Amino acid sequence: MSDIKQRTLSIYEYLKELRDNDTVLQYADWFAFIVSLFPVPGLQQAGAIASKIADDRSISVRFSEIRTQIEDTNKRVTEIEDDIERLGAIANTVASVTDLQSQIEQFIKEVMSELERDDSEFVMDTSNWSIQAIINQMIDVDWVAISAKHHSQNILKQTKIQAKRTHLVADDHSINIIDGTDFSDGPGTVKMQGMGQTGHVSVTGNAVAFHGEGALIFGARPETVVGNCPSCNHRIEIEKHKLAGYSSITCPNCGFVSRFEIT
């Protein structure tokens, strides 16, 4: 499965859990598709953009127009009952029509322009035995707050953060995993490779400040899931966050597809 498809499905699952915006909940498949095309790293930011599209009158009208044009281009989209299958049909329709692609690109620019007028802040808050990951992304804001609480984990991997200050929090048996990530405030840059972080730590472009029992742990790795293929007994090990949105896995050795459940 491609990275963009995995990203879209993860966003869809996240939006289906939002209970404070009926419009986003009703059209979660449509919002998941459009938001997956935005250059934002985390699920919470994807949810914020979906809410912005739903709540801003002019943006919402334009979004509805694009949705209608996609439906007019491919009538089958309106006939599909399964959300996941409809997501695929929407993506395939847009991929085959250049005009739709151009309209969506312009729509994204308009929404991003509106977002830039808001407060420049990035917040990633993970709790209750959950995992969130930011991989190969660029975050450029004034302030960053990344928090993991109650047996949770955040993963920052191959990411560049441009901010005046980044505050990292990991409490109650939680951890932030930081690998190949740069923290820059303009003049300087702090690089972290294979680090785990607990407690409270602040990072700027030229300093790392430890608050209370804040700490950095060398050699930390993301939590992994290990198992053997029930068909060929091949050992399979994968980072747990990569399984988000999936219910089955394909053995790389024999191709056998097996279902799984993570508790």
- Predicted confidence (pLDDT) per residue in 168-184, tens digit: 999 999 999 999 999 99
On whether both 212 and 142 belong to a single domain, the answer is yes
pLDDT at residue 20 is higher than 80 = no
pTM of the model: 0.52
Split at pLDDT 50, 70, 90, the class of 77 is very high
pLDDT at residue 110 is higher than 60 = yes
Average pLDDT for 125-145: 89
Task: Using alpha carbons, select from 69, 71, 85, 23 the residue that is nearest to residue 50.
Answer: 23
On whether both 104 and 137 belong to a single domain, the answer is no
Domain that holds residue 234: 224-259
For every residue of the chain, DSSP letters joined together read --HHHHHHHHHHHHHHT--S-HHHHHTHHHHHHHHTTSS--SHHHHHHHHHHHHHSHHHHHHHHHHHHHHHHH-THHHH---HHHHHHHHHHHHHT-HHHHHHHHHHHHHHHHHHHTS--EEEEEEESS-EEEEES-EEE-SEEEEEEESS-EEEEES-EEE-SEEEEEEESS-EEEEESEEEE-SS-EEEE-SEEEEEEEEE-SS-EEEEEEEEEEET----EEEEE-TTT--EEEEEGGGGTT-SEEE-TTT--EEE----
On whether both 91 and 137 belong to a single domain, the answer is no
On whether both 74 and 146 belong to a single domain, the answer is no
On whether both 213 and 231 belong to a single domain, the answer is no
Split at pLDDT 50, 70, 90, the class of 143 is confident
Mean model confidence pLDDT for the chain: 88
Average pLDDT for 58-80: 93
On whether both 150 and 187 belong to a single domain, the answer is yes
Give the domain-ending residue among 97, 116, 135: 116
On whether both 149 and 104 belong to a single domain, the answer is no
